[in-house]
Structure 1
Amino acid sequence: MRIDKVIFAPARGAFFYDDQAAIRAGREMDGVAYLGEPLTPGFKRVREPSRALGIGLVLEDGAVVWGDMVSVQYSGAAGRDPVFDPEKIEAVCRERLLPRLIGMEAAAGPENCAFAFAHEGEARLPLAIEYGASQALLRAAAHARRVTVAEVVAEAMGLPAPSEPVPIFAQSGDDRRNAVDTMILKGVDVLPHGLINSAEKFGPDGATFIDYVRWVAARTRALGEPGYTPVLHFDVYGWIGLGHSTEPRAVAEFIARLAEDIPDHTLHIECPVDYGSRQATIENYAAIVETLDTLTDRARVVADEHCNTLADIEAFIAARAAHVIQVKTPDVGDLMDTARAIRAAREAGIGAYCGGTSAETDHSARACVHVALAARASMMLAKPGMGVNEGLTIVGNEQARALAEIAARAG
């Protein structure tokens, strides 16, 4: 079954594209919007609606399989691709990608991704294109073979079809208290992210953040079922460095003291410091990890900024510069590279968090579920959007359906 035609459709992301540099510089919020001028090239405003572009592969049997090309919330930051522009992305697709896609044998799937995205002698395609087109190519293979995308990816990785769900991680956005209640009542495995992305949310020397962590732990005891002790995962967007210290020992000691305050939980701290480059981040995170391991066994550093592509992730793994790697799917590009990144982390004894962004779409989130299942991620993000219920529903239900379908075929 071959690919006969490629079509495009405008799509909406579930949240916003935000200028991280402007927010860190203190741009004031006005309701949901931010006031003032953007700082990152490509942004027209500090906060813009996230846009996506669907790419549809029309197959010989008339079926159309889709993928969504989209970028991350903090586009253009920490070495990431610029903010998403659907018109420019479609033009690049028509010039460079479509000639490779037309006539492909759909069942090949992962091999088609490798061929479509090869870039010897020319610039790599924008990662958003790899991301959306790989979703469509893997779905085409699943359709042609009459299996799930998870089975297509697992076979390509030399793994058996998955049989167990991946723990789900929910994020709160700015509704950081009501959202926590929702997560606890729904028994989420990992929570709450917290969106600690400003001086106000971090507080003087972290006081506001520390109080919030203690409140979340107390709330799990107040509302949770007996024995409910989820992993508590907070993304601080570099604010331990900005509001406390960038010195690795001081960062490790801050995190260890915080872990002591919540003895019933494992603590994840994502992006404690932004050191400005990949190499500086790797060197300093490796030092933080080494020191933290001497202080506590209940706290983990999660790498995010400057850990974007498969090559970045492999460099972090080689240096053991994190306890957990966020494989931020739109930043990685080709979903087969996400699978490879998850496998590399797990083989190294490092947690593999199949992440992504609130800015992407329901369709891309469902595709990521299959890759997380196939590659055996440690956890995956409930996405898209900043609403807890929506992301949990989309990701959780897709997992359940995929596993039920695989189990039915197995016997």
Structure 2
Amino acid sequence: MRIEEIRAVPGVSGFFFDDQRAIKDGATQRGFDYDGPPVTEGFDRVREAGESLIVELELADGTVVTGDCAAVQYSGAGGRDPLFRAETYRPVVEGVVADALRGRDATLFRENAETLEAIDPERSGGDRLHTAVRYGVSQALLNAAARARGQTPTDVLSAAYDTDPATSPVPVFGQSGDERRSNAEKMLIKGVPVLPHGLFNSVEKVGEGGEGLREYLAWLSDRAGELGPEEYAPRFHVDVYGILGKVFGPPYDRREVTDYFETLREAAAPYPLQVEGPMDAGGRAEQIEQMAELREGLRDAGVAVEIVADEWCNTFEDVRAFVDAGAADVVQVKTPDLGGVQRSAEAVLYCDGTDTRAYLGGTCNETVTSARACAHVALATDAAQVLAKPGMGFDEGFMVVTNEMRRMLSRRQGGRQGVQADD
């Protein structure tokens, strides 16, 4: 079945674009907004409404499947592509992208996705094809292949990469946003496997000496015992956006730092703890060096806290560099930053056989369509965990990702692998 046409419609996303550098530099939160000037190129204010670009791909039989171009909340930070504007990239999708894909066999997902990745940047106005564009169009290509083959997206990905899909739901990681206590309590009542993210993106939230994070983990541990279901055994995962680097500074294998991480472990006990983005070094090579230094220091000190790579770990090449250097216990595969969804699958699979696990992440600033696609990537690659998205309300994203995986597993276990995409 052939691809006949590609259209694009500007849409909204599940959250907002935030100028991370401005926030780290002291922009003051007032209500839901931030006071202060933006500092990252492309931002008109510190917090802006999120955008998406809805991609409609029409097949020869008149079927229309979709994908959503979306970019991360903290666009333009940590080596990522610049702020995504839907109207700017609509003519790119309907022009150079449509020209490259029109007439191709829709069943050939991997080949079509590689064609998308290979589009000449000069033909899109002199800039490289934005990761958000590749992300959304690849979702549509995945759904097109599923429709044309009469399979699920999980089966399409599994065949493309010769994998054995997960036989049970991949552990879902809930994100709390700034409502880190009330939303965490929701997660505990629902028995979420990995929680709560926490959004510790300023020294004010972490504490001048890190005491705010430690006190929060102690509270979370207590509430897990009080609210969680019987035999509940969650994993705690907090994201500190590089702020511990501001609190302590290098070198990160010194006793002051490892002793602090031990206090975090004690506060979280009896639950295992992962700390994402402990520092933001300002470049990939330095970030890898400092992450590896911290990881080795924690091992030597016998501190059972795992560290998660996020800052400067954006592309497939970045993931490979962090894994090869042994710089993290877990790497976040930040789906919109890798471009096509096939790149996310490849990044997860690259971790197989190493001592680094793959967390299929993304951003609150996505859409239901992109979240559903990522649930299939998680199942096809059997990732260590997958982010609940979109949005920061928690419940909605958890529902979307959990239900998508359960539907898929029910079909496989029942022997019905029929098409699911865009049902």
TM-score range, shorter chain: over 0.9
Question: 2:393, 2:327 → 1: CA distance?
Answer: 31
Q: Does 1:302 align with 2:282?
A: no
Q: Tell me the residue number matched to 1:282.
A: 288
Segments of 5+ residues of structure 2 without an aligned counterpart are: 418-423
Find 1:273's aligned residue among 268, 274, 279: 279
- The two structures have a TM-score, normalised by structure 1, of 0.97
SS of aligned partner of 2:209: helix
> Is the Cα contact below 8 Å between 1:154 and 1:162 reproduced in 2?
no
Q: CA deviation at 1:101?
A: 1.1
Q: Does 1:136 align with 2:140?
A: yes
SS of aligned partner of 2:331: strand
> Is the Cα contact below 8 Å between 1:150 and 1:162 reproduced in 2?
no
Deviations 1:87-142 (A, max 9, x none): 11112223321111110110011111011221468564111111001100010000
Which has the larger displacement, 255-264 or 305-314?
255-264
Question: 1:261, 1:210 → 2: CA distance?
Answer: 6
Q: Tell me the residue number matched to 2:174.
A: 170
How many residue pairs match? The answer is: 411
Question: 2:385, 2:108 → 1: CA distance?
Answer: 28
Q: Tell me the residue number matched to 1:363.
A: 369
**Matches for 1:176-255 after TM superposition, within 5 Å:** 176-250=180-254, 251-255=257-261
Structure 2 letter corresponding to 1:374 = A
Question: 2:2, 2:275 → 1: CA distance?
Answer: 46
CA 1:318–1:178: 2 relative to 1, 3 Å: same
> Is the Cα contact below 8 Å between 1:249 and 1:288 reproduced in 2?
yes
Q: Tell me the residue number matched to 2:23.
A: 23
Question: 1:94, 1:246 → 2: CA distance?
Answer: 48
Structure 2 letter corresponding to 1:29 = Q
Question: 1:86, 1:408 → 2: CA distance?
Answer: 40
- The two structures have a TM-score, normalised by structure 2, of 0.94
**Matches for 1:139-158 after TM superposition, within 5 Å:** 139-158=143-162
CA 1:238–1:161: 2 relative to 1, 3 Å: closer
Question: 2:370, 2:416 → 1: CA distance?
Answer: 27
SS of aligned partner of 1:107: coil
> Is the Cα contact below 8 Å between 1:248 and 1:284 reproduced in 2?
yes
Q: Tell me the residue number matched to 2:392.
A: 386
Which has the larger displacement, 244-253 or 222-231?
244-253
Question: 1:121, 1:91 → 2: CA distance?
Answer: 14
Question: 1:287, 1:324 → 2: CA distance?
Answer: 15
Question: 1:74, 1:321 → 2: CA distance?
Answer: 23
Q: Tell me the residue number matched to 1:13.
A: 13
Which has the larger displacement, 218-227 or 310-319?
218-227
Q: Tell me the residue number matched to 2:33.
A: 33
Structure 2 letter corresponding to 1:238 = G
SS of aligned partner of 1:175: coil
Deviations 1:336-360 (A, max 9, x none): 1100100111331311100000011
Structure 2 letter corresponding to 1:344 = Y
> Is the Cα contact below 8 Å between 2:97 and 2:119 reproduced in 1?
no
Deviations 1:250-273 (A, max 9, x none): 444422331123331110000000
Question: 1:373, 1:235 → 2: CA distance?
Answer: 24
Q: CA deviation at 1:61?
A: 1.1
Deviations 1:226-281 (A, max 9, x none): 33231110000111111223321144442233112333111000000001100000
Q: CA deviation at 1:400?
A: 0.5
Alignment RMSD: 1.5
Question: 1:87, 1:181 → 2: CA distance?
Answer: 39
Q: Tell me the residue number matched to 1:46.
A: 46
After TM superposition, what 4+ stretches of structure 1 lie above 6 angstroms from structure 2? none
Structure 1 letter corresponding to 2:91 = A
Identity of aligned residues (%): 43
Q: CA deviation at 1:200?
A: 1.3
Q: CA deviation at 1:410?
A: 6.2
Q: Tell me the residue number matched to 1:350.
A: 356
SS of aligned partner of 2:226: helix
> Is the Cα contact below 8 Å between 1:155 and 1:161 reproduced in 2?
no
**Matches for 1:51-200 after TM superposition, within 5 Å:** 51-119=51-119, 122=122, 124-200=128-204
Structure 2 letter corresponding to 1:249 = D
Question: 2:296, 2:99 → 1: CA distance?
Answer: 49
Structure 1 letter corresponding to 2:400 = I
Question: 2:409, 2:258 → 1: CA distance?
Answer: 39
Deviations 1:369-398 (A, max 9, x none): 000100110000000010111011100000
SS of aligned partner of 1:273: coil
Question: 1:177, 1:86 → 2: CA distance?
Answer: 34
> Is the Cα contact below 8 Å between 2:80 and 2:314 reproduced in 1?
yes
> Is the Cα contact below 8 Å between 1:117 and 1:124 reproduced in 2?
no
> Is the Cα contact below 8 Å between 1:246 and 1:273 reproduced in 2?
no
